[in-house]
Structure 1
């Protein structure tokens, strides 16, 4: 690997001992325009080919084959005996009575005297598939050089992007860390200020003074008609940005004229989620599901999971297969898959048909909380006046 220091164009001196990569220009006027790509030219670093200072986006590095997981490395889960719970008639009736009791203007007689004629489960299932991935990308970074020790290529070869050891965070939680790659640092002159550490003031544009704000075009105060005490009648004042110097410290290098350049690897852990909710077309307002909890029927977590088989709701079986294939195509070749998890949740809902006083009515019981939705309760009144259903 070439371990020579990065150079700026038209630099004629060699670095002083102990200042690796720091080169002073012979003539500042000879430096090319900072927009010239050659000004940002840096050394070749093995394992990080193709990244330069001109790159706007980070370059992604694919994980080596030995880090890729194989679905066949783990056993297929045993066939499940799917036992879908249902609500009993007594529980459905008790939930209805409690619902009516909380309605101050509902007559409780129908809830107590009603006869259940049918109990129809309309359970909705939520399927969730998660793929926890790790990706690594790299780019050149620069920051003001404050005189710290330089970890240059002279100290050894830079580790490859996927050879850098990083502690994996909690599974299925997003996190990003940035790591300075060892043995890639060097010090270069700042191309923005042409190694001067100063930039022309953007308020006075190097003139060091600006027109007086109190007495513009006059020598006296407009309000007191006396000689201006701010500019002493000169009609100009020192620039308040550069304090009369005509230049300000370069923001790119912090006024130090030198930059510490290095390769930075960004490690990103991301939980990629696929979700699906089966629609039973029951006529129940689906927005009410947001306020209730469901029962977790199935959780399968492995390095690589298999599709769900034999679930009573056939759509869940198909969706599971589709989700796994989709994530495999999307992430297996570009990222490192660390873990996968699939969950099936039962969002409980039952439609209860009942009779009271010779007429038929219905209501829904839903969620673990056994909440009730009834839009046709037979006796809704308050002071003998019917009231609308909230």
Structure 2
């Protein structure tokens, strides 16, 4: 080995190289009820216990649907909505909207079905922090409670939220797996030497300078390394080691199981696609009139509704939610809603030509596939 590459005053063979950031397999023991968490960084699902009862659909349960009047808009409301719409589009002139002649305002019945399934999911994973003498809630204080027995404060219903909880009696202290308890690790940039080969002279300590108009050259000391052939390692500031990035020099880690509780409102929508000229996606940004709301721990498919497609889709979506969420989560509540979303097809004429536009939602939004004229940019 080149004499320049060794520095016995800096290199310390007792300082280990960096280990893995996460504990290796087998580093941590299983805790009853949380098996399978052997140091991985990903959360592991904790399947809920079976419910104390198994509810069944009620036989001959007909949904009472109130008489619903299809909402309509007047010509003044339709015109104002169109003017507001075209004024938000810099290419459009409001003149056609102000001077059009209405031919027909045709209200259309649009039902929107919504199913909400509010779930609680619990996952767990090993976590660690630097140990600096803080209290250790370990197995000596008792057995860790099962994951679904740990009490939590539930947020308002149908509100998404995540809470992280340290599992009681799951903590213990162990030497840092990254530095083997040294508190520092060998610098991987300079391999613990505290210096690196000079990148300007490639470790030679000099450079060749060619004389002008001559073929001869002479050696001159490298300015970057002052002729030494090596430079101080910037990464470790010449120390040859770094403070351990995992334990931050404390040499020990406090390991514990972290329980993650996730509340989520899972929502499914359905609107029968019966208006080929109107894009259904527009309905996603507007509200309707919720004339029917059914809420329970588990809701059941709707029967007796005049729109048979709505009845069929309730069965489909409810079964999908049960199959998807009941095995990995705890279903806390379900709610199904039928809204009547206002939709009016407005037919009008302008300058002897026929056009149309849609007014939709309680907000009276406008969609128009074609508008009579656009402003010209000179």
Give the TM interval when normalised to the shorter protein: 0.7 to 0.9
Cα distance, 1:100–1:202 mapped onto 2, change above 3 Å: closer
**Contact 1:141 1:262 (8 Å CA) reproduced:** yes
Corresponding position of 1:262: 256
Corresponding position of 2:115: 129
Cα offsets for 1:320-367 (capped at 9, x unmatched): 111111111211232111111122222212345689999987664433
The TM-score with structure 1 as length reference comes to: 0.72
Q: Which whole-Å CA distance do the structure 1 matches of 2:162 and 2:177 have between them?
A: 30
Corresponding position of 1:168: 154
Q: Does 1:64 align with 2:55?
A: no
Q: Which whole-Å CA distance do the structure 1 matches of 2:157 and 2:121 have between them?
A: 14
Q: Does 1:83 align with 2:68?
A: yes
**Contact 1:301 1:341 (8 Å CA) reproduced:** yes
Corresponding position of 1:283: 277
Match of 1:95 among 77, 91, 99: 77
Out of 349-358 and 306-315, give the one that drifted further: 349-358
**Contact 1:198 1:249 (8 Å CA) reproduced:** yes
The TM-score with structure 2 as length reference comes to: 0.74
Q: How far did 1:316 drift? A: 1.2
Cα distance, 1:310–1:242 mapped onto 2, change above 3 Å: same
Match of 2:293 among 270, 275, 299: 299
Q: Does 1:318 align with 2:312?
A: yes
Q: Which whole-Å CA distance do the structure 2 matches of 1:358 and 1:161 have between them?
A: 72
Q: Which whole-Å CA distance do the structure 1 matches of 2:140 and 2:83 have between them?
A: 81
Corresponding position of 2:328: 334
**Contact 2:186 2:240 (8 Å CA) reproduced:** yes
Cα offsets for 1:107-138 (capped at 9, x unmatched): 96762xx665xx64322222211111111122
Q: Does 1:177 align with 2:167?
A: no
Q: How far did 1:71 drift? A: 5.8
Q: Does 1:52 align with 2:34?
A: no
Q: Which whole-Å CA distance do the structure 2 matches of 1:267 and 1:257 have between them?
A: 31
Q: Which whole-Å CA distance do the structure 2 matches of 1:208 and 1:369 have between them?
A: 69
Q: Which whole-Å CA distance do the structure 1 matches of 2:356 and 2:221 have between them?
A: 91
DSSP-derived class of the 1:106 partner = helix
5+ residue gaps, structure 1: 1-27, 381-386
Once the two structures are superposed, the pairs formed by residues 1-390 of structure 1 within 5 Å of their partners are 40-53=26-39, 55=40, 57-66=42-51, 70=55, 79-87=64-72, 91-98=73-80, 104-106=94-96, 111=101, 116=104, 120-212=106-198, 217-218=204-205, 231-286=225-280, 288-289=282-283, 292-351=286-345, 364-370=358-364, 387=373
**Contact 2:206 2:227 (8 Å CA) reproduced:** yes
Q: How far did 1:284 drift? A: 3.1
5+ residue gaps, structure 2: 1-13, 85-92, 210-218
Cα offsets for 1:73-114 (capped at 9, x unmatched): 9xx786222414232xxx433335546777643396762xx6
Q: How far did 1:213 drift? A: 5.9
Corresponding position of 1:11: none
Q: Which whole-Å CA distance do the structure 1 matches of 2:252 and 2:229 have between them?
A: 39
